[in-house]
Amino acid sequence: MLSRDEAIALLRSWAEAHQHGDIQFRDSDAPAHDPSDDYQIVYEARWLPGDIDKMAVEVWVAPNGSVAVGLDTRERVATRVGVPSRRPGFATGCEPLPLSEEQLRAILRLVTSGSIVLRVSLIPLIGVGRVSAYSTANDAETVEALGALRWIGHASDLRRPALASRVLTYEPW
């Protein structure tokens, strides 16, 4: 598991190496605390592409080094599929959990390489329902790193039909 300082250093290093004209990067050592959360965040990093076909990602670091990841937003997903979004927030992701350096790097690689797809459940009259993430990466390093993360499936699982859903692919940064 990454320590708090290791996670922050990795994210800052990733941001420096992946600066692009249409990717807006913001980070904070003092993010606002939501009183309804049962955890504290000491660092927040956010990448927001200007192009809606590129995935946005937000990563939070807790005092113990646990990491939360938010993939794209429900609003951006709703815009892409042409339906309303009744609530704000991340399209999908995970609450803070212990991640290794390899796992965090694998998630960031998936986003920046466009190697992640989202299955979006559509609810009549409501719009965006459940959103699930799937990796399209087949390299051994990424597959091994993601193996323990239950919230990111593999694209081979997408062969199972899902009623009233759309699959969104993303462009690399």
> What band does 33 get if pLDDT is binned at 50, 70 and 90?
confident
Q: At 134, list the tokens.
A: 């799937």
Per-residue pLDDT of 104-130, as tens digits, reads: 999 999 999 999 999 999 998 899 999
Predicted pLDDT at 36 = 82
- Secondary structure of 29-83 in HEC code, one letter for each residue: CCCCCCCCCCCCCCEEEEEEECCCCCCCEEEEECCCCCEEEEEEEHHHHHHHHCC
Nearest to 47 by CA among 27, 30, 28: 27
The pTM (predicted TM-score) of the whole model is 0.92
Q: 8 vs 148, which has greater pLDDT?
A: 8
Q: Which of 8-12, 83-87, 157-161 has the highest mean pLDDT?
A: 8-12
Per-residue pLDDT of 37-58, as tens digits, reads: 888 999 999 999 999 999 999 9
Q: Domain residues of the chain, as ranges?
A: 4-168
Contact between 108 and 147 (Cβ < 8 Å): no
